[in-house]
Amino acid sequence: MSATLFRTSAIARSALRARTSTKTAAMASMSFVRGKATLPDLPYDYGALEPSISGKIMELHHKNHHQTYVNSYNAASEQMQAAEQKGDIQTQTSLLPLINFHGGGHINHSLFWENLAPSKNGGGGEPSGKVKTAIESSYGDFNSFKTKFNAALAGIQGSGWAWLVKDNETGQVHIRTYANQDPVVGKYTPLLGIDAWEHAYYLQYQNRKAEYFSAIWDVINWKTVEQRL
């Protein structure tokens, strides 16, 4: 088995796509310095999503949580390169879950920040154009879609994400949940992700996570969803 096999793991392919994609605004803005992942700037102030998401949550979530995924991904990635150079396949294999978790955390949060916008800058409301058409084709109407999405979020056990994805084979959109930091890869394109980890809401909503899932729709950036579709 050659070392290149490990270089083309799902997450690596996803990172490569992130560097070359021009279609996906958030992916394109994900920044790398000499192959290293770096924390992207938020396109709004920490407090700009209040009252849906408090400024304190946004600051901790971006500056601390996301930064940790970036740092840990870079560390695992360096270890992977060293193991590849030594032809140490055992170590390479043992690093794959770490690359998936922290690389996934970096990708998911980079996409998530750009899925949000302050309501005074166009956040919230209902999708229009081709997003509206795609959602209505799969879910009937926007309110039914929102109810199903919130039910998917509520059904996540432990930590994870719910996503609106596009099936690249059929062009249809679907709601899918992912555990932990598993990124949307393979035949699906991520359009809209909502972070259901406790760190995304607990400081403000405590155990009332349904209130967070309900309030976040007031700051969804549908323009980003449309660009990704």
Applying CB under 5 A, the residues found at the interface with Mn ion are 195, 197
Q: Is 148 helix (H, G, I), strand (E, B) or coil?
A: helix
Q: Is 178 helix (H, G, I), strand (E, B) or coil?
A: strand
Our CB check for Mn ion shows the closer of 197 and 212 to be 197
| CB 74 within 8 Å of CB 98 | no
Q: Closest separation between CB of residue 85 and Mn ion, Å? A: 33
Alpha carbon of residue 160 to chain centroid: 10
Task: Specify the amino acid at residue 206.
Answer: Q
* Total count of residues recorded for the chain: 229
Our CB check for Mn ion shows the closer of 64 and 128 to be 64
Our CB check for Mn ion shows the closer of 127 and 160 to be 160
- ∠ CA 135-139-145, rounded to 5°: 80
Our CB check for Mn ion shows the closer of 197 and 205 to be 197
Q: Closest separation between CB of residue 131 and Mn ion, Å? A: 24
| CB 219 within 8 Å of CB 49 | yes
Q: Which two tokens stand for residue 165?
A: 């994805």
In the bound state, the residue with its beta carbon closest to Mn ion is: 195
Our CB check for Mn ion shows the closer of 131 and 164 to be 164
Q: Closest separation between CB of residue 66 and Mn ion, Å? A: 7
| CB 179 within 8 Å of CB 160 | yes
| CB 181 within 8 Å of CB 102 | yes
Q: Closest separation between CB of residue 199 and Mn ion, Å? A: 5
Peptide bond into 51 cis (omega under 30): yes
Our CB check for Mn ion shows the closer of 39 and 131 to be 39
Q: Closest separation between CB of residue 166 and Mn ion, Å? A: 22
CB-count burial class (<10 Å; 0-12, 13-18, 19+) for 21: middle
Q: Closest separation between CB of residue 65 and Mn ion, Å? A: 5
Q: Closest separation between CB of residue 99 and Mn ion, Å? A: 18
Our CB check for Mn ion shows the closer of 84 and 195 to be 195
The two counts, helices (H) then strands (E), for the chain are 11, 5
